[in-house]
Amino acid sequence: MDVKEAVKAAKIYVADVFSEENLSNLGLEEVEHDEAKKMWLVTVGFSRPWNTTRNALTAIAGDQNPKRAYRIVSLNDNGEVISIKRRDVVSD
């Protein structure tokens, strides 16, 4: 499995697992291959409807910065998803 296949598999899996949550803005954030463990660690980010700011201004102008959730998808070298974990982002 190469990096493009790992990313594609992770995004498809996340879209499927979270399908009932109406995800938007699903995208790649980071990817790493752990040679020792023979694992791909693919971080994806996405937005969900309840994480979006709702007020009169955003109703008119649209939400300029929807909040994002991040998940690390671990896959083995055969493309099998082993886990999905929350990735917390620390802001400065």
Amino acid at 34: D
- pLDDT in tens for each of the 92 residues of the chain? 999 999 999 999 999 999 999 999 999 999 999 999 999 999 999 998 866 665 666 556 655 566 889 999 999 999 999 999 998 876 65
**Closest by Cα among 67, 86, 9 to 40:** 9
Q: In whole angstroms, how far apart are CA 5 and each of 23, 40, 73, 81?
A: 21, 10, 13, 12
Q: Does the pTM exceed 0.85?
A: no
Report DSSP letters for 31-54, one per residue.
EEEETTTTEEEEEEEEE-GGGS--
